[in-house]
Chain A
Amino acid sequence: MHITQVGPRAALVEVADAAEALSLAGWVRGRVAAEEVVPAARTVLLDGLGPGTDLAALLAGWSPEVPAPPGPWVTVPVVYDGPDLEAVAAHWGCSAGDVVVRHTAHVFVSAFCGFSPGFAYLSGLPTELAVPRLASPRTRVEAGSVALADAWCGIYPTASPGGWQVIGRTDLTLWDPTREQPALLAPGTRVRFVEAS
Chain B
Amino acid sequence: MTLVVLDPGALTTVQDRGRRGWAHLGVPRAGALDADAAALANRLVGNEPDAALLETTLTGVRVRLEEARTLAVTGAECDVVVGGRSCAFAEPVSVRAGAEVQIGPARRGVRSYLAVSGGLAVAPVLGSRSTDTLAWVGPPLPQAGDKLPLGPVAGPPRAADVVVRRPREAVLRLHRGPRADWVTSQAWDALDGAAYTVGADSNRIGLRLEGRAVERVERGELASEGVVLGAVQLPPSGQPVVFLHDHPVTGGYPVIAVVDPDDLGVCAQLRPGEEVALRALGDRRRSHG
Residues of chain A touching chain B, judged by Cβ–Cβ distance below 8 Å, are: 1-10, 12, 25, 35-45, 47-48, 55-56, 112-119, 177, 182-183, 186-187
Closest to B25 in A: A183
Contact B249 A38 (CB under 8 A): yes
Residues of A within 8 A of B27 (CB): 117, 182
Of the candidates A2, A10, A35, A113, the one whose C-beta lies within 8 Å of that of B289 is A2
Interface size range on B against A = 35 or more
Of the candidates B25, B126, B255, B288, the one whose C-beta lies within 8 Å of that of A113 is B25
Residues of A within 8 A of B288 (CB): 2-3, 55-56
Minimum distance in angstroms from B68 CB to a CB of chain A: 34
Minimum distance in angstroms from B131 CB to a CB of chain A: 12
Contact B258 A6 (CB under 8 A): yes
Residues of B within 8 A of A47 (CB): 23, 226, 228
Contact B24 A12 (CB under 8 A): no
B185 sits at the interface (CB 8 A): no
Of the candidates B25, B125, B225, the one whose C-beta lies within 8 Å of that of A40 is B225
Residues of B within 8 A of A186 (CB): 24-25
Closest to A13 in B: B289
Contact B286 A6 (CB under 8 A): no
Assuming the contacts A37-B24, A114-B250, A117-B25, asked whether A8 and B260 have C-beta atoms less than 8 A apart, the reply is yes
Contact A45 B225 (CB under 8 A): yes
Residues of A within 8 A of B250 (CB): 38, 40, 112, 114-115
Contact B26 A44 (CB under 8 A): no
Minimum distance in angstroms from A125 CB to a CB of chain B: 16
Closest to A121 in B: B224
A-B contact pairs, 28 of them (CB 8 A): A1-B289, A3-B288, A6-B178, A6-B228, A7-B230, A7-B260, A9-B261, A36-B24, A36-B226, A38-B249, A39-B24, A40-B250, A43-B223, A43-B225, A45-B227, A45-B228, A47-B228, A55-B288, A56-B288, A56-B289, A112-B250, A114-B26, A114-B250, A117-B27, A177-B137, A182-B27, A183-B25, A186-B24
Contact B224 A41 (CB under 8 A): yes
Minimum distance in angstroms from A11 CB to a CB of chain B: 8
Contacts between the two chains (Cβ within 8 Å), count = 122
Most buried by A among B25, B137, B223, B288: B25
Known: A7-B228, A117-B27, A182-B22. 18 other contacts (CB 8 A): A2-B288, A4-B178, A6-B178, A6-B258, A7-B261, A38-B226, A43-B225, A45-B225, A45-B228, A47-B23, A114-B224, A114-B249, A116-B26, A116-B135, A117-B26, A118-B25, A177-B125, A182-B27
B177 sits at the interface (CB 8 A): yes
Closest to A114 in B: B250
Contact B248 A6 (CB under 8 A): no
- A8 to B289 Cα, complex, angstroms: 19
- A97 to B260 Cα, complex, angstroms: 54
B21 sits at the interface (CB 8 A): yes
Q: Which residues 205-236 in B have Cβ within 8 Å of A in the complex?
A: 223-228, 230-231
Most buried by B among A56, A114, A187: A114
Residues of B within 8 A of A56 (CB): 288-289
Assuming the contacts A8-B261, A115-B248, asked whether A187 and B24 have C-beta atoms less than 8 A apart, the reply is yes
Closest to A5 in B: B286
Of the candidates B178, B225, B258, the one whose C-beta lies within 8 Å of that of A41 is B225
